[in-house]
């Protein structure tokens, strides 16, 4: 229970603040204290990398209207002034960062709940999800391979394409990762609610493959988000589109909210969702995994 | 002892804030009694009962009545406390905050109104919410039955939900409103006519590793003949339509037969399974176990803790000192004997805060217990409750000659921290249970 | 119906701040209401009126008519054409000579002299009993200050192009010593005679040439040019003059210069046309059973009166207060008469004090700072049912002016209508001594609310 484990971290009295967090970060937050450091700072948030084997190993500390990422801890007030490299401590129920000691008073569920869904509805949603030109990897051969392989349930094709896509593209969350994250969440949730077990199993394989060495193949934040997606956790914008796809809410507004995220992130995630829907539709009614290209 | 009675014009603060101020003043050394309250007929009556001479006044005046060695010092402290309250409200909305729920609803989109103004004024705010298309939780009690029926009928027509009046607990997508606990997300939705009942069930579920989607309170009178379960039905339908809710737990007091029949007909139509915790027919712990079985989950042993060092012997009377009405009723039924008091009842909360915030009446009662007696009490943690109930309770328990058994309702995630409260209470010599039924059974055995 | 459960809602909180604090501690967005108990003694009436099942639709209908009304200036008529025999109209709720204040008496004396019913002021006072006095509002008419209307005065005639109503208001005499402030000296009467013989006919003939003038559009424009249409009418007067000038030259070539000079010399010339517009709009909202909408606020120098849509022509009154404002020359508060005039029809119709934020040039009246003017308008949204779709305030991002006073909201918030006004001298014959703000008496509104509650038949 002593704080001295962090060499050089000055002992200080921190102001207690409370907020809300995605339930996905609960295991990391409630594990014993671990050192962490600030990876990146934004006007409405910062990423903390925690020295832990658990996932999510990157926690987004956010405020205001910042996207409620599935690895986020949300504060009601403004964040302190932070610099990349600042030290922090995460664990025993708290995040200690700068002058603040943050605790969680509310947990939100980062998984979409779509209810049972009829494949006919999914078919109807597909046209709206067609690429809008904002995707970072438009025309990339591996995206095409991934789409084709998903449609036919060709597992090797899916995994081969995914291997090439992890970490592909510029930025903190490369486009390839965003597409895969959208695909993973869709396979898991829509596959389950449409009763297409094969899609869920493909999702499991895909999740295991892309998370296996994600920490060495892409940025830390993107690796964490891939882990979250493999567990079925996503931002409210992604969940909103999946609920809309299932016919619970109007699709167009949900989709435009998603596409507004980041530079290409929103459109890349939407592309991943579209590939996932094609996969679920393609696998609906067919039995086991296919070992070869159709 | 000197007295000071003053009326201040043009100042308004809500009753809970003023009760905190009153309590802070009363706790000052040399202060015998301090009343800081809006000069309503009730509060003026209370002051007169305490022997203060109160001049003619309006309910919009702030009444200050202090009996102390040095009332002027108390008045200075009062100025400081009131100033802090005013600054706080000024900071909340620097420029022209909305003055009605209607104006607030027009200023920015919202989903829910939480109304806790004095009961006789709650109708207007709740009506504003419904007319603006908002769901509403009425924390206030003292709303007339006629107004309750009217609000709920309007809500039904508009597809909205009225939680309350006198709804102390709700959780919407993890957001705790009123008295609620910090719970993990999960598959269970709760409809409850009893706030502490809902807190108990959800805390046990959380302990068993099962989270909740929403807790929808309906108010204690919803299943009366007059209201006919209007909000219960609406809440059941909402949870049934919610894809995240896989199981519904319906917690109610014994309902009116016709209201019950209407509700049962709705329950039968739902596609989501419903576990019913009807007090009297079952206890909350058994209903929780039933819910776990329906979900296919194991029913754990509900944790309990012995006193750190030798608990006191029992054999005398059994005294139940409760803050939650439902928990009190349940414990009385389970124990089968004893003398039970619900300090959350209107008779004890007139002019003072709920025992979940202000423990003084219960501490007085605990102090009066005798050697050999068993005192059974509930301690409820969570949002809105006393930030550290053990801080005042533990010394009283340690000092009491009676055996003390506590039902502790809370989760590890609560602001007070279940574990810290358990340690403090057991160190003081209390037996602590997470199940109220278990606590009552234990306390009932060995006591008369 | 499930949107409540779709995510964490933003929560409006009214009441205990402890509950609001605990929501913020969970990073839940809150909108705290600065709730206060309602005006003392209104609790029961409020509960009954709010519970009246007719109220929401009645108010929606009344305010919808108020907003939809489209006032057009269609003519100028001599009052003798519409007044009953031996009748004078006056501002505010009905009043007798005995209860009348200085300026009201002065105006009555002036009217007696003007109409030749008396030879001198004393005789006028003695003979006033031979005349019938009635409230302007009872004759689809409004008048500023004393609001005196006698047969030889000319009236603006304004029609509501949507609902077909008609309303009248006298012509503005200008500032200084004028009848409406209770002055009745020879120069006052001479001016009134000139208005009868020259101005009235010229305007009548001019309007025959222009056809109806769209006052709704004109008022909307004037708001964007810095008028609030009660204490500042400079832009509106200029706009009206632009519309009328060519027609006046054509219709009355011999008098055009003096007529145009007269209008140009009076920044408040438009006020009376605007008041008739306000009257025709608020009249459209009258007589909706169950409605708690205020359709008239008017003062006679002694009483401040209020009428509700749901209660027909009944007046609810309280003592008129002395305005708080700025004084001309050496005049001061001791020289001021209690509040007087029908010009509060502008506030009733969402202008004047309610549109204060549009008129930074006259913020001296409300405390001196532009922020005070903005706050005056913003606080009026608390007690009104709607925002005007056409009357917009540039400084508030073209938000519509607050319009449609609901007496239940006054009782709930204790916020009284902000009323801009001129200040009349206390002594008959003095004229205007200043201008400023007046606080309406709260009992006018609370008694109206009680009467509305009592009018609801038990369910």
Segments of chain B with pLDDT less than 70: 86-94, 310-311, 351, 446-448
- pLDDT of C125: 93
Instruction: Say if residues C309 and C289 touch (Cβ distance below 8 Å).
Output: no
Considering its fold, how many domains does chain B have in total?
A: 3
Which of the 8 DSSP states describes residue B14? -
The answer on pLDDT for A170 being more than 90 is no
- pLDDT of C62: 98
Residues B222 and B110 in one domain: yes
- The number of C-beta contacts closer than 8 angstroms across A and B is 41
CATH, residue B71: 3.30.70
By Cβ distance, the residue of C6, C8, C27 closest to A19 is C27
DSSP assignment of C161-204:
TTT--EEEEEPP--SSS-GGGT--SHHHHHHHHHIIIIIHHHHH
Q: Which of A70-74, A238-242, B5-9, C40-44 has the lowest mean pLDDT?
A: B5-9
- pLDDT of B351: 67
Domain assignment of residue B385, given as a range: 304-444
- Structure token digits, residue A194: 């449409």
Instruction: Give CA–CA dist A271/A268, Å, rounded.
Output: 5
By Cβ distance, the residue of A75, A243, A249 closest to C27 is A75
Residues B264 and B366 in one domain: no
Q: Classify the phi-psi angles of C380: left when phi > 0, otherwise alpha if psi is within -120 to 50, otherwise beta.
A: alpha
Tell me the chain C residues in contact with residue A19 when contact means C-beta distances shorter than 8 Å. 25-27
From B140, which residue of chain C is nearest by alpha-carbon distance?
Answer: C15
Instruction: Say if residues C277 and C71 touch (Cβ distance below 8 Å).
Output: yes
Average pLDDT over chain C reads 94
Q: How far does A32 lie from chain B, in Å, by closest CA?
A: 15
Instruction: Give CA–CA dist A87/A109, Å, rounded.
Output: 28
Q: Which stretch of DSSP H or E encloses residue B371?
A: none
Residue among C220, B34, C303, B185 nearest A233 (CA):
B185
Sheet of B175-178, strand order: B175-178, B169-172, B212-217, B185-192, B247-252, B274-278
Tell me the chain A residues in contact with residue B244 when contact means C-beta distances shorter than 8 Å. 109, 113
Residues B391 and B420 in one domain: yes
Instruction: Give CA–CA dist B350/B37, Å, rounded.
Output: 12
> How confident is residue A291, by pLDDT bands cut at 50, 70 and 90?
very low
Instruction: Give CA–CA dist C165/C284, Å, rounded.
Output: 7
The values of phi and psi at residue C389, to 5°, are -70, -20
Dihedral sign, CA of B53, B57, B59, B64?
negative
- pLDDT of A211: 94
Strand positions, DSSP E, C269-407: 294-300, 303-308, 316-319, 324-327, 340-341, 384-393, 399-405
By Cβ distance, the residue of B175, B184, B213 closest to A23 is B184
The answer on pLDDT for A293 being more than 50 is no
Mean pLDDT of A149-157: 91
C297-321 pLDDT tens trace: 999 999 999 999 999 999 999 999 9
Instruction: Give CA–CA dist B219/B165, Å, rounded.
Output: 5
**B16 found inside a domain:** yes
Residues B420 and B314 in one domain: yes
Instruction: Say if residues C45 and C450 touch (Cβ distance below 8 Å).
Output: yes
Residue among B177, B183, B173, B174 nearest B164 (CA):
B177
- pLDDT of A11: 60
Mean pLDDT of A132-151: 90
Residue C92 CA, distance from chain mean position: 10
**B299 found inside a domain:** no
Residue of B177, B183, B243 best to disrupt the A interface, most CBs of A under 10 A: B243
C102-136 pLDDT tens trace: 999 999 999 999 999 999 999 999 999 999 999 99
Which of the 8 DSSP states describes residue A154? B
Domain boundary among B32, B62, B92: B92
- pLDDT of B88: 60
Instruction: Look up the ipTM and state it.
Output: 0.92
Inter-chain contact B174–A26, Cβ cutoff 8 Å? Answer: no
The answer on pLDDT for A244 being more than 70 is yes
Instruction: Give CA–CA dist B120/A243, Å, rounded.
Output: 41
C62-77 pLDDT tens trace: 999 999 999 999 999 9
Residues B85 and B162 in one domain: no
**B208 found inside a domain:** yes
Instruction: Give CA–CA dist C50/C66, Å, rounded.
Output: 21
Inter-chain contact B383–C34, Cβ cutoff 8 Å? Answer: no
Instruction: Give CA–CA dist B36/B12, Å, rounded.
Output: 11
Residue among C365, C335, C349, C343 nearest C299 (CA):
C343
- Give contacts of C 27-66 with A, CB under 8 A: 27-28
Burial C240-254 (b: 16+ CB within 10 A, else e): beeebbebbbebbee
Residue among C5, A106, C423, C306 nearest B181 (CA):
A106
Mean pLDDT of C150-155: 98
Is the N-terminal amide bond of B165 cis, ω within 30° of 0?
A: yes
Q: Which of A41-45, B107-111, C364-368 has the lowest mean pLDDT?
A: C364-368
Residue among B277, B305, B304, B295 nearest B209 (CA):
B295
> How confident is residue C367, by pLDDT bands cut at 50, 70 and 90?
low
- pLDDT of A285: 65
**B408 found inside a domain:** yes
Inter-chain contact C4–B238, Cβ cutoff 8 Å? Answer: yes
Residue among B10, B42, B166, B352 nearest C36 (CA):
B10
- Structure token digits, residue B58: 């309006």
Domain boundary among B242, B271, B294: B294
Name the pTM for this structure. Answer: 0.89
The answer on pLDDT for C370 being more than 90 is no
Residues B73 and B199 in one domain: no
Residues B336 and B389 in one domain: yes
From A111, which residue of chain B is nearest by alpha-carbon distance?
Answer: B244
The values of phi and psi at residue B89, to 5°, are -70, -30
Inter-chain contact A249–C6, Cβ cutoff 8 Å? Answer: yes
Residues B77 and B118 in one domain: no
C10-67 pLDDT tens trace: 999 999 999 999 999 999 999 999 999 999 999 999 999 999 999 999 999 999 999 9
Q: How many CA atoms lie within 13 A of B350 on its CB side?
A: 10
Residues B332 and B220 in one domain: no
From A115, which residue of chain B is nearest by alpha-carbon distance?
Answer: B243
- pLDDT of A2: 40
Q: Which of B421-425, C188-192, C436-440 has the lowest mean pLDDT?
A: C436-440
- pLDDT of C47: 95
Q: How far does C156 lie from chain B, in Å, by closest CA?
A: 37
Instruction: Please enumerate in sequence order all residues whose Cβ is within 8 A of that of C135, keeping only pairs 6 or more positions apart, or say none.
Output: C89, C90, C91, C92, C93, C94, C298, C300, C315
Kindly give the residue spans of alpha helices, DSSP state H, lying in C158-316: 186-194, 200-210, 215-224, 234-251, 256-264, 269-284
Residues B312 and B229 in one domain: no
Instruction: Say if residues A267 and A179 touch (Cβ distance below 8 Å).
Output: no
Instruction: Give CA–CA dist C222/B186, Å, rounded.
Output: 59
Instruction: Give CA–CA dist A174/B267, Å, rounded.
Output: 49
- Share of residues in chain A with pLDDT > 90 (%): 79
From B415, which residue of chain A is nearest by alpha-carbon distance?
Answer: A105
The answer on pLDDT for C2 being more than 90 is no
By Cβ distance, the residue of A75, A76, A236 closest to C7 is A236
By Cβ distance, the residue of A23, A103, A193 closest to B185 is A23
Domain boundary among B294, B313, B344: B294
Q: Does B59 touch chain C (CB under 8 A)?
A: yes
- Give contacts of B 65-104 with C, CB under 8 A: 88-89, 92-93, 95-104
- Structure token digits, residue A110: 């980062």
- The number of C-beta contacts closer than 8 angstroms across A and C is 28
Q: Which of helix, strand or coil describes residue C323?
A: coil
The answer on pLDDT for A292 being more than 50 is no
B275-323 pLDDT tens trace: 999 988 899 999 999 999 999 999 999 999 999 986 677 778 999 999 9
Q: Which stretch of DSSP H or E encloses residue B439?
A: helix B436-444
Q: Which domains does chain C have, with CATH numbers?
A: 2-35 (no CATH), 44-66+286-455 (3.90.1700.10), 68-277 (3.90.1710.10)
Residues B289 and B308 in one domain: no
Inter-chain contact A106–C28, Cβ cutoff 8 Å? Answer: yes
> How confident is residue C450, by pLDDT bands cut at 50, 70 and 90?
very high
Residues B427 and B316 in one domain: yes
- pLDDT of B24: 83
Inter-chain contact B415–A248, Cβ cutoff 8 Å? Answer: no
Residue of B175, B179, B181, B182 best to disrupt the A interface, most CBs of A under 10 A: B182
Q: How many CA atoms lie within 13 A of C312 on its CB side?
A: 3
From C8, which residue of chain B is nearest by alpha-carbon distance?
Answer: B173
Instruction: Give CA–CA dist B111/C12, Å, rounded.
Output: 8
Kindly give the residue spans of alpha helices, DSSP state H, lying in A16-154: 26-30, 119-125, 141-152
The answer on pLDDT for A50 being more than 90 is yes
- Structure token digits, residue A220: 């830390």
- Structure token digits, residue B288: 């929780």
By Cβ distance, the residue of B59, B111, B173 closest to C10 is B111
Inter-chain contact A113–B243, Cβ cutoff 8 Å? Answer: yes
Q: Does A28 touch chain B (CB under 8 A)?
A: no
- pLDDT of B92: 44
Instruction: Please enumerate in sequence order all residues whose Cβ is within 8 A of that of B144, keeping only pairs 6 or more positions apart, or say none.
Output: B123
From B103, which residue of chain C is nearest by alpha-carbon distance?
Answer: C382
- pLDDT of B310: 67
C192-240 pLDDT tens trace: 999 999 999 999 999 999 999 999 999 999 999 999 999 999 999 999 9
Tell me the chain C residues in contact with residue B58 when contact means C-beta distances shorter than 8 Å. 40
From A93, which residue of chain B is nearest by alpha-carbon distance?
Answer: B413
- pLDDT of C435: 85
How many CB atoms sit inside 10 A of residue B395's CB?
Answer: 13
Inter-chain contact A20–C6, Cβ cutoff 8 Å? Answer: no
User: Rounded to the nearest 5 degrees, what angle is found at the Cα of C103, between the Cα atoms of C101 and C109?
Assistant: 100
CATH, residue B389: 3.40.50.261
Tell me the chain B residues in contact with residue A104 when contact means C-beta distances shorter than 8 Å. 182, 413
DSSP assignment of B258-325:
HHHHHHHHHHHH-SS-EEEEEBTTB-HHHHHHHHHHHTT-PPPPPPEE--SS-PPP--S-EEEEES-H
**B125 found inside a domain:** yes
Q: Does C26 touch chain A (CB under 8 A)?
A: yes
The answer on pLDDT for A288 being more than 80 is no
Inter-chain contact C26–A19, Cβ cutoff 8 Å? Answer: yes
- Surface-to-core class of residue B257, CB atoms within 10 Å of its CB (0-12 exposed, 13-18 middle, 19+ buried): exposed
By Cβ distance, the residue of A105, A115, A193 closest to B182 is A105
């Amino acid at each position: 229970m002593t704080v001295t484990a962090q060499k050089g971290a000055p002992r200080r009295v921190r102001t207690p603040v409370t907020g809300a967090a995605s339930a996905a970060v609960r295991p990391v937050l409630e594990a014993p204290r671990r050192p962490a450091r600030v990876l990146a700072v934004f006007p409405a948030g910062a990423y903390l990398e925690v020295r832990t084997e658990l996932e999510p190993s990157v926690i987004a500390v956010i405020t205001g209207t910042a996207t409620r990422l599935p690895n986020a801890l949300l504060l009601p007030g403004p964040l302190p002034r932070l610099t990349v490299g600042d030290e922090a401590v995460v664990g025993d129920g708290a995040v200690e960062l700068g002058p603040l000691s943050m605790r969680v008073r509310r947990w939100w569920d980062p998984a979409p709940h779509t209810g049972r869904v009829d494949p006919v509805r999914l078919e109807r949603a597909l046209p709206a999800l067609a690429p809008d030109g904002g995707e970072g990897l438009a025309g990339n051969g591996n995206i095409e391979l991934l789409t084709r392989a998903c449609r036919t349930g060709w597992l090797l094709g899916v995994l081969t394409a995914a291997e090439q896509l992890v970490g592909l593209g510029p930025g903190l969350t490369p486009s390839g990762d965003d597409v895969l994250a959208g695909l993973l969440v869709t396979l898991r949730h829509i596959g389950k609610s449409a009763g297409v077990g094969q899609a869920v199993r493909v999702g499991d394989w895909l999740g295991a493959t892309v998370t296996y060495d994600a920490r060495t193949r892409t940025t830390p934040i993107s690796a964490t988000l891939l882990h979250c997606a493999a567990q079925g956790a996503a931002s409210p914008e992604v969940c909103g589109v999946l609920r809309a796809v299932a016919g619970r809410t109007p699709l167009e507004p949900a989709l435009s909210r998603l596409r507004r995220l980041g530079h290409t992130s929103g459109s890349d995630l939407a592309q991943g969702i579209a590939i996932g829907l094609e996969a679920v539709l393609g696998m609906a009614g067919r039995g086991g995994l296919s070992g070869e290209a159709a | 002892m000197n007295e000071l009675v003053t009326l201040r014009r043009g100042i308004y603060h809500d009753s809970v804030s003023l009760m905190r101020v009153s309590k802070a003043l009363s706790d000052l050394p040399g202060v015998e009694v301090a009343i800081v309250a809006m000069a309503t007929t009730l509060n003026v009556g209370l002051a007169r009962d305490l022997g203060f001479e109160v001049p003619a006044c309006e309910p919009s005046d702030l009444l200050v009545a202090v009996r102390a060695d040095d009332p002027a010092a108390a008045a200075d402290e009062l100025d400081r406390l009131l100033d802090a309250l005013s600054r706080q409200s000024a900071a909340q909305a620097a420029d022209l905050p909305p003055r009605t729920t209607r104006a607030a609803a027009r200023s920015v989109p919202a989903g829910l109104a939480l109304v806790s103004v004095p009961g006789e004024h709650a109708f207007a705010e709740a009506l504003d919410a419904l007319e603006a298309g908002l769901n509403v939780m009425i924390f206030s009690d003292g709303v007339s039955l006629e107004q309750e029926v009217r609000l709920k009928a309007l809500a039904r027509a508009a597809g909205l939900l009225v939680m309350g009046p006198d709804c102390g607990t709700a959780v919407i997508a993890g957001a705790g409103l009123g008295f609620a606990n910090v719970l993990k997300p999960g598959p269970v939705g709760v409809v409850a006519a009893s706030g502490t009942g809902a807190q108990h069930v959800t805390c046990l579920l959380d302990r068993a590793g099962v989270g909740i989607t929403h807790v929808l309170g309906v108010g204690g009178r919803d299943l009366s003949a007059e209201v006919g379960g209007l909000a219960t039905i609406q809440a059941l339908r909402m949870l049934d339509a919610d894809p995240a809710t896989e199981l519904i737990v319906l917690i109610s007091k014994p309902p009116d037969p016709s209201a019950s029949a209407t509700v049962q007909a709705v329950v039968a139509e739902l596609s989501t399974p419903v576990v019913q915790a009807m007090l009297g027919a079952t206890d909350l712990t058994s209903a929780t176990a039933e819910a776990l079985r329906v979900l296919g989950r194991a029913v754990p042993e509900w944790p309990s803790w012995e006193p750190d060092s030798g608990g006191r012997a029992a054999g005398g009377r059994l005294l139940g000192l409760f803050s939650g009405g439902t928990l009190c009723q349940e414990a009385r039924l389970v124990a089968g004997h004893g003398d039970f008091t619900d300090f959350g009842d209107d008779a004890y909360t007139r002019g003072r805060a709920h025992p979940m915030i202000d423990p003084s009446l219960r501490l007085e009662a605990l102090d009066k217990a005798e050697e050999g007696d068993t005192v059974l009490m509930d301690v409820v943690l969570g949002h809105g409750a006393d930030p550290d109930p053990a801080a005042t309770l533990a010394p009283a328990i340690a000092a009491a000659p009676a055996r003390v058994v506590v039902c502790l309702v809370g989760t590890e995630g609560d602001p007070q921290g279940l574990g810290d409260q358990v340690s403090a209470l057991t160190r003081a010599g209390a037996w602590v249970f997470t199940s109220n039924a278990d606590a009552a059974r234990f306390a009932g055995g060995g006591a008369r | 119906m499930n949107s409540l459960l779709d995510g964490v809602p933003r929560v409006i909180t009214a009441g205990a701040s402890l509950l609001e604090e605990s929501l913020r501690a969970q990073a839940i967005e809150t909108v705290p209401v600065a709730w206060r108990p309602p005006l003392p003694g209104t609790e029961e009436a409020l509960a009954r009126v709010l519970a009246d099942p007719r109220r929401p639709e009645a108010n929606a209908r009344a305010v919808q008519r108020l907003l939809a009304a489209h006032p057009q200036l269609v003519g100028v008529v001599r009052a003798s054409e519409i007044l009953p025999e031996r009748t004078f109209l006056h501002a505010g709720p009905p009043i007798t000579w005995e209860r009348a204040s200085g300026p009201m008496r002065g105006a009555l004396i002036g009217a007696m002299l003007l109409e030749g019913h008396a030879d001198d002021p004393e005789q006028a006072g003695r003979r006033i009993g031979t005349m019938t006095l009635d409230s302007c509002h009872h004759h689809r008419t409004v008048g500023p200050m004393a609001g005196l209307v006698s047969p030889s005065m000319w009236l603006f005639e304004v029609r509501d192009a949507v609902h077909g109503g008609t309303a009248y208001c006298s012509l503005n005499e200008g500032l200084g010593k004028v009848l409406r402030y209770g002055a009745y000296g020879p120069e006052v009467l001479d001016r009134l005679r000139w208005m009868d013989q020259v101005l009235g006919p010229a305007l009548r003939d001019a309007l025959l040439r222009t056809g109806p003038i769209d006052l709704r559009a004109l008022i909307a424009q004037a708001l964007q040019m810095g008028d609030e249409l009660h204490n500042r009418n400079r832009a509106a007067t200029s706009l009206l003059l632009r519309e009328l000038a060519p027609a006046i030259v054509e219709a009355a070539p011999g008098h055009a210069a003096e007529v145009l000079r007269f209008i140009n010399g009076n920044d408040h010339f438009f006020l009376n046309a605007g008041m008739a517009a306000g009257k025709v709009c608020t009249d459209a909202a009258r007589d909706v059973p169950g409605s708690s909408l205020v359709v008239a606020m008017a003062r006679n120098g002694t009483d401040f009166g209020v009428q509700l849509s749901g209660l027909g022509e009944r007046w609810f009154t309280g003592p008129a207060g002395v305005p708080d404002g700025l004084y001309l020359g050496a005049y001061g508060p001791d020289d001021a008469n209690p509040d007087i005039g029908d010009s509060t029809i502008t506030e009733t119709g969402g202008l004047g004090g309610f549109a204060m934020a549009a008129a930074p040039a006259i913020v001296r009246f409300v405390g001196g700072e532009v922020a005070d003017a903005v706050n005056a308008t913003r606080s009026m949204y608390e007690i009104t049912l709607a925002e005007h779709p056409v009357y917009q305030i540039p400084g508030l991002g073209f938000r519509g002016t607050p319009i449609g006073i609901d007496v239940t909201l006054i009782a709930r918030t204790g916020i009284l209508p902000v009323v801009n006004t001129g200040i009349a001298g206390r002594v008959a014959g003095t004229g205007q001594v200043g201008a400023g703000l007046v606080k309406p008496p709260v009992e006018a509104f609370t008694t109206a609310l009680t009467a509305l509650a009592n009018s609801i038949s038990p369910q």
